[in-house]
Amino acid sequence: MRVRPTLRWTPTEDLPPATTDLDPVVDALRAGGVLVLSGAGISTESGIPDYRGEGGSLSRHTPMTFQEFVGGAAARRRYWARSHLGWRTFGRALPNAGHRAVAAFGRDGLVSGVITQNVDGLHQAAGSEDVVELHGSLDRVVCLSCGRMSPRSELAERLEAANPGFSPVAAGINPDGDADLTDDQVVGFRVVPCAVCGGVLKPDVVFFGETVPPQRVELCRRMVRESESLLVLGSSLTVMSGLRFVRLAAESGKPVLIVNRDPTRGDRHARARVGLPLGAALTTVAGRLGVTVEEAAA
């Protein structure tokens, strides 16, 4: 039986309405020491869908759980077939205006760090430093037996060699890099083992059903404690992995600001939620602060 992750959060209380006023975000960044917490919504403008927004992938797709992945070869074949195909698109995604604005704020000393729930590496690709990947990254692979870490590009080459001509038509791609394929489309896919010990390979990401490593959580807690304010970008905060940092900031008396078009589970802890598209909103904020945002790569 597959464990279905939380699809949506339904508010049980009246929440303050969203605003289109960017003044609180501008003021917080001008003061400096802003810690950014980002979710899937910041990457949608790069062509990567989110989980829970309008048309989010969880309405049609159940991510594989850790228990299912380690529980059988058939599940791993399904995962790696779908992930291998999805990586051809996912791995080519480029940072968008939102990522570039966050990087620019960092270069100007306005942002103290970034905690991202995303596994796409786009903050780093845009030039952000001091990024903590809360849920890991798809561009790394780990062996569950010997612990060897290797680049995803290495595995992609090995899977290409083991599955020549594998190019089924997918119905779509998901935030975890997983392509929508049917069981019939993956039945003949060949999974490759660890090149060193022959063990099971897993992407270096936190699956549903896994816990974030405690040392990573503590690092993020320290980043919250050392910040002046918390700016949440594109996260519904439905799951506790991100919401706990919002709660910690609020309990510590630090301003929490959210930019997200839909209501979030953290709204009651926030000074304001700005309901505007992220790329345009952050570009406007940068302009008001006199921060130069690099142009998109050609």
Residue list for the binding site for NAD(+): 39-59, 117-120, 234-236, 278
Tell me which of 61, 84, 135, 269 is the catalytic residue: 135
Question: Of 215, 261, 269, which Cα lies nearest the Cα of 98?
Answer: 261
How far is the C-alpha of 210 from the C-alpha of 206, rounded, in Å? 6
Between CA 158 and CA 153 the distance in angstroms is 9
Binding residues: 39-59, 117-120, 143, 146, 194, 197, 234-236, 278
Q: Establish whether 61 is a catalytic residue.
A: no
- Three-state SS string over the chain comes to CCCCCCCCCCCCCCCCCCECCCHHHHHHHHHCCEEEEECHHHHHHHCCCCCCCCCCHHHCCCCCEHHHHHHCHHHHHHHHHHHHHHHHHHCCCCCCHHHHHHHHHHHCCCEEEEEECCCCCHHHHHCCCCEEECCEEEEEEEECCCCCEEEHHHHHHHHHHHCCCCCCCCCCECCCCCECCCHHHHCCCCCCCCCCCCCCEEEEECCECCCCCHHHHHHHHHHHHHCCEEEEECCCCCCHHHHHHHHHHHHCCCCEEEECCCCCCCHHHCCEEECCCHHHHHHHHHHHHCCCCCCCCC
Q: Which residues pair with 230 in a beta bridge?
A: 35, 256
CB-based contacts of 61, cutoff 8 Å, min separation 6: 174, 178, 180
Q: Which residues are catalytic?
A: 135
